Amino acid sequence: MATDYALMIRNLLSFYDFKGKTMIAIGAGGGQFVGYGRAPRRIVAVDQDAAALDQLREAASKNNMSEKFEFVHGDFLTVDLPVRGDVVLFDFCLHEMADAALALNRAGGLAGDVVVFDHGRASEWAYYVVEEEKVKRSWSVLERFRVVRHQEYSAEQRFKDHAELLAKVKVQGETAIVRIEKFKTQTDIRIPLAYELALVQFS
């Protein structure tokens, strides 16, 4: 699998100036976007997946950024956080929140600026991983808040063959497996990944 994470990070950093700020990064585990950590002064990384946090911890270490990060394991809606921040970042996770409005309101209580970085409403990739309805719902909720900036971007998910694609999506369940059946005989599979960035201000 290949995705141009470096380009996505550049787009994020050009959308909002994180330089010198304290960032609370929600859903930050996994490590693929660790590059954005170069801009903030401090990052409090929150994820309910302990294994994903371990991957982020390893990625931060490899990139000589361990001293910037503080790792918090737990559900953002309920976990105790050690600090207020300058900005909260939802890292491809607002659509996964049980209550997007509650999550945004909690974020607004922690920082004046909230940046949502997530699947776009027109993303084909969201369809194949059976997240299209959750994505639409979360953006619909976001529109009730004070969005001062919004931008759409395009990327793609690339897979060498169906087997690699299947390995990626099978955790999403039977519907995802059925949806990718059309790629069974294909190689060099490219699936458009639309994503959106929004800045919500609470202060």
* 27-54 pLDDT tens trace: 998 888 999 999 999 999 999 999 999 9
CA distance 42 to 16: 16
pLDDT of residue 203: 76
pLDDT of residue 2: 62
Closest CA to 102 of 148, 43, 146, 145: 145
Has residue 17 got a pLDDT over 90? yes
Closest CA to 164 of 19, 46, 54, 1: 1
Contact assessment for residue 3 and residue 164, using Cβ atoms and an 8 Å cutoff: no
Which residues are CB-contacts of 114 (< 8 A; sequence separation ≥ 6)?
A: 87, 88, 89, 90, 104, 107, 108, 199, 200, 201, 202
pLDDT of residue 29: 86
Has residue 144 got a pLDDT over 90? yes
- CB atoms under 10 Å from CB of 194, counted, come to 18
* Mean pLDDT to the nearest integer, 122-146: 97
Domain limits, the chain: 5-122+130-153+196-200
pLDDT of residue 83: 84
Q: Mean pLDDT for the chain?
A: 95
Q: Domain spanning 5-122+130-153+196-200 has what CATH number? A: 3.40.50.150
